[in-house]
Structure formats: structure tokens, C-alpha cells
Amino acid sequence: MKVLLTGAFGNVGSSCLGELLRQGQKVRCFDLKTRANQRIARRLGGQRHKGGMEVVWGDLRDPQQVATAVRGQDVVIHLAFIIPKLSATGIESEKHPDQAHEINVGGTRNLLEAMRALPTPPRIIFASSYHVFGRTQDQPPPRTVFDPVQPIEHYGHHKVACERMIRDSGLAWAILRLAATLPITIKLDPAMFDIPLGNRMEYVHTRDVGLAIANAAKSDQVWGRTLLIGGGPRCQYHYREIVGRILVGMGVGMLPKEAFGSTPFPTDWVDSSESQRLLQYQRRDLDDYVRDVASHLGWRRAAIRMFRPLVRHLLLKQSPYYRAQARSGRGETGRKLASLLSRLRLKARSPR
């Protein structure tokens, strides 16, 4: 089977590419020509596998490049998207919504038009997100495909717009809404503090997502359906459990609760029973992820543990909630900081 994979060298893209190649598919990779992407392409291309890999560098905003990429393909797996915070492109959907819209919605439109122009159009699998449900912490879980979409971010609105275009395209389609799919090369970004510790969140391993998408491409039961892709009941947590285990696994240790926000975040638990029945992809859990992160860090994990107080200090400086607590003196952390600063000021004023 010939598969076009957009966003092939991102987090989910790399996992999906690896699984497609293991299954013996012929994969045409379409992504931006960045140094990071070229490095990943060389690494994956140098591995032994049953399938074939071709790289086409391009931009979804260029209709001609997109038309060239889709030609001769049986299935298009569309992953390329500008995401909030940790986007691999360096663009952030919430800070640059217009540019993100050009790529996310405009790029998807170019892809659909190029596919429809072919004598035998390929099928399309679109990776959406459970962010389309918006804030649902006040509703009993889990989320299902029958729940209304109520996005609150540009990213979520873009996903909903693309879902609508795909359903109306006249093409054979499948939409997979992904739960939290964290990269193994995780970065401790200030965005981590925006999620309340009590927020429900379902985790799914990036390699399990890659397997789900690869299995969907060869399935005859997913077309015309929307499926939720999650880790299953054993991967349904509150955020404090996820972030705590990751931070401990990295050698940082859990950070104080005052560092985290309180506004409900658009994550939840999902009913993935149907997608698991069809795609048989749920093989890993959060423990596997923490081990993978620690393995990826290698010697850097020992360095983090050695300089743990400094690392924690630098991380906490990035939390606007922690800084606000410290300035106001509210909360245990704020009181401790205020007391410490007071003692330091008195010491500085005392005669030598």
C-alpha cells in the first residue's frame, strides 16, 4: 500500500512512520525541510525495515507541492498541524492564530482539493484531538464520539473546521481524535503549569498512536467513522499523577501545587473501547512512557538530579501562578518565599 504521511517527522508522525515501515508499507513523507526534520529522516531512513520510505519536502500552503505529494497514493494520513505551545515548527497556534489557520485549515483544504482532482482519489485519515470537546470537567466522564464539540482554543476550532471539511469532501475518510500523546523527547515548557492538578487527563503512548493509525490505514472498518484514540482505563489519570510521575522520573521531583493553574483545561477521559476493538493498539501505559523518557535523557538525568535545586528553581520561575503566589505571600510556598526574602533584606541592611 502506498501511503502519504504529512507531518511525518513530528511526534506522532515519527511513531506512525516507524509502524508503517514495519508493516511493509511504501511511505511518502511530506514535511517541512528543517534541520530537525532532516536529522530524523536520516535516522529513520537508515534503519532496516520491510517497507519503503520516500521523502518529499514541502509546505501544505503550496497547492502545487501538495498536488505532487498526493499523486499515486492509496491513503493519505494527515498529521501536519500547528499545535499549542510545543509545536515542532516553532509556531504556536494560540500566539499566531492567523498563520496557524493558513497551515491547519488552509493546508487541509489544499490537500483535499488535490486529492479530489485525481482520477482515483486516495482515502484520508485525519488526526484530530480530544481538545474539540472543550472544557468538560463539570461533566461525568468519559467523553464519547457523540458528545458535542465546543472548542475553546484556536487549535480546537481548527480541528473542528478540518473535520467538517473532510466529512463534506466526498472522499473516503476516517477521523481519529487523539488523547494526550506526549513526545518521548519531552520539554519542560511553561505550558505544563496551565493544567490544574485535578484535571482529568487520558494519556496514550505515542507508539500506540502510531500503531492505531497504521492499523487504521489497512482496515476496512474505519471509513466514514470518527474514533477516539486513548490509552484505555489504565491510562486515565488526574493531571497531578501524570506530571508528578514524569517529573520524578526525570529526576526533578514533583513541584508545589501553587505552581499550577486552576482554570479547567480541555482534556478528559475518553471511551476508546470501539477504537481498541477495531485497531488493537493499546499496548503501553504511563510507566512505559516514564521509562522511555528516562532512557532518552540518559546521562542528562544524572545531571538533573545533581543540580536538582537549581533545575527546580528555574522551572518554578517559569510558572506565572507560582510567581503570583510568591509576590502576594499567599499559600505555603508564598509564605516561605516571603519569609526568606524578608530575612535576606534584614541581613542586607544589618551593619557588618
**pLDDT tens-digit series, residues 278-289:** 999 999 999 999
- Tell me how far apart the alpha carbons of residues 7 and 17 are, in angstroms, rounded to a whole number: 10
If you write DSSP's letter for every residue of 113-134 in order, what string do you get? HHHHTSSSPPEEEEEEEGGGG-
Q: Average pLDDT in the 45-73 region?
A: 93
Residue 100 has pLDDT above 50, yes or no: yes
pTM score of the predicted model: 0.91
> Given pLDDT bands bounded at 50, 70 and 90, which one contains residue 87?
very low
Strands 236-238 and 2-6: unpaired
Distance (Å, rounded) from C-alpha 120 to C-alpha 117?
A: 9
Question: Above 80 in pLDDT, residue 71?
Answer: yes
The full set of domains in the chain, from first to last, is 2-250+258-286 (3.40.50.720)
pLDDT of residue 331: 56
DSSP state of 153: S
Q: List the single range of 88-102, 137-151, 174-188 with lowest mean pLDDT.
A: 88-102
User: 275-279, long-range: CB within 8 Å, 24+ apart, which pairs?
Assistant: 275/176, 275/212, 275/227, 275/228, 275/229, 275/230, 276/232, 278/215, 278/216, 278/219, 278/221, 278/222, 278/227, 279/211, 279/212, 279/215, 279/216, 279/219, 279/222, 279/227
pLDDT band at 346 (very low <50, low <70, confident <90, very high): low
Could you tell me which residues are beta bridge partners of residue 124?
A: 76, 173
State whether residue 4 is helix, strand or coil: strand
Task: Look at residue 93 in the predicted model and tell me its pLDDT.
Answer: 84
**pLDDT attached to residue 345:** 55
Sign of CA dihedral 288, 184, 188, 94: negative
- The label of the residue with cell 473535520 reads 163
> Taking residues 177-193, what's their average pLDDT?
92
Measured CA to CA in angstroms, residue 77 lies from 73, 187, 218, 276 at distances of 10, 26, 12, 19
